[in-house]
Amino acid sequence: MPASPPLRVVQWATGALGRYALRSLITRPEFELAGVLVYDPDKAGRDAGEIVGLPATGVTCTDDVEHVLALDADCVLHMPLPAAYFGGDPTTDVETICALLASGKNVITTTGFVYPPCYGPGLVERLEAACRAGGTSLHGTGINPGFMSDLLPLALTGLSSRIDHIFVRESSDFRGHPSRQTVVDLVGFTLSPKDYAAAVRPFRAFQRALFAESVQLVASALGVALDEVEESDEFELAAEEFEIAAGVVRSGTVCASHWTFSGLVRGRPFMTVECVYKADAAKVRRWPDPGFTVHVEGVPQMMLSVEEISHGLAGAAAHAVNAVAAVCAAPPGVRTVLDLPLTTGRGTVRLS
């Protein structure tokens, strides 16, 4: 049988996460890079290969949204920082995604949308209408949510005869994260407690919405109706000055945060997700070390630990890239992880 033609994919945004995805689109033969949308004016007009340290591709980066909407492409990897991160109108992301879907391009996004029904039938119908107009599908994904706090625990529950509680913990080390915009402006590290309280407000709203999607997705898949999803958070101050990739953390400034999201049924947690973020895990002893943990409490009891993911951004990007073929082949509509076949690694296999 003749080989299938490569899928034409647009990379939307080339921040720390988007650059990992862009490298895959350029180097993997099953894809053809159709276009690149950038936000940084210094990247506009440059060859896509140049901005990720690869040979020229012949594809020029653009900041012209209308140009990207007019492109002939099978899929868009939509990876900007969500508008809600900056206190902007959250519907901006919805409008962009709907425009891409209606233009005939499938969309895989890392800005949420892991479980849109969480926001009610109005948003779902708006997204579905755009999918019908373009004959396309939408899929929200990432590493957490998108894998660790939803797909992985659901896979484990396949061994359960009774489920009492699901617990997921992520602990992440931001020491080598290159984006000051993410580490300082969004997560709030290096800020004084007063500045942190103001700066983290939009991030808190986004986190609450994002992990509520994940918790609701798992509960829905297991036939459990949650009464609410409760959120709490706290932070830790640095005892000494130290340097990370995104800047200098001075003594007395925020160096770690701890978030808890609990899906409650009659006041009791059915699923709990904890997120621990550390500016430098070697300097912050409070809270667990980096890694992921999943507990399924019931019959049988199960615990799975992933002690380290060396490049979390690479994992998040790969999970999105590896879903492209499945999303393009899916019927039009909003697609969660429950609607797609299990995606496995499609990158270069090295045996030595």
Predicted confidence pLDDT, tens digits, the chain (352 residues): 557 899 999 999 999 899 999 999 999 999 999 999 999 999 999 999 999 999 999 999 999 999 999 999 999 999 998 876 655 666 889 999 999 999 999 999 999 999 999 999 999 999 999 999 999 999 999 999 999 999 999 999 999 999 999 999 999 999 998 888 889 988 999 999 999 998 888 888 888 988 999 999 999 999 999 999 999 999 999 999 999 999 999 999 999 999 999 999 999 999 999 999 999 999 999 999 999 999 999 999 999 999 877 778 899 999 999 999 999 999 999 999 888 886 666 554 444 3
pLDDT at residue 352, rounded to an integer: 36
Q: What is the pLDDT of residues 160-211, one digit of tens each?
A: 999 999 999 999 999 998 888 889 988 999 999 999 998 888 888 888 988 9
| CA dihedral sign, ordered 261, 185, 91, 322 | negative
pLDDT at residue 99, rounded to an integer: 98
The domain ranges of the chain are: 7-142+314-339, 151-308
pLDDT at residue 203, rounded to an integer: 83
pLDDT at residue 272, rounded to an integer: 98
| Phi-psi sector, 306: left (phi>0), alpha (psi -120 to 50), beta | beta
Spatial separation of the C-alpha atoms in residues 262 and 241, rounded to whole Å? 34
Average pLDDT of every residue of the chain: 92
**Phi then psi for 323, rounded to 5 degrees?**
-90, -5
Helices (H) and strands (E) in the chain — how many of each? Answer: 10, 14
Q: If residue 232 lies in a helix (H) or strand (E), which one and from where to where?
A: strand 228-237
pLDDT at residue 307, rounded to an integer: 83
Closest by CA position to 287, among listed 275, 301, 298: 275
pLDDT at residue 350, rounded to an integer: 46
Closest by CA position to 336, among listed 183, 142, 184: 142
Q: What is the pLDDT of residues 44-95, one digit of tens each?
A: 999 999 999 999 999 999 999 999 999 999 999 999 988 766 556 668 899 9
DSSP string covering 318-351:
HHHHTTHHHHHHSPSEE--GGGSPPP---S----
CATH number of the domain at 7-142+314-339, out of 3.40.640.10, 3.40.50.1970, 3.40.50.720, 1.10.357.140? 3.40.50.720
One-letter identity of residue 339: D
pLDDT at residue 87, rounded to an integer: 58
Is the whole model's pTM more than 0.85, yes or no? yes
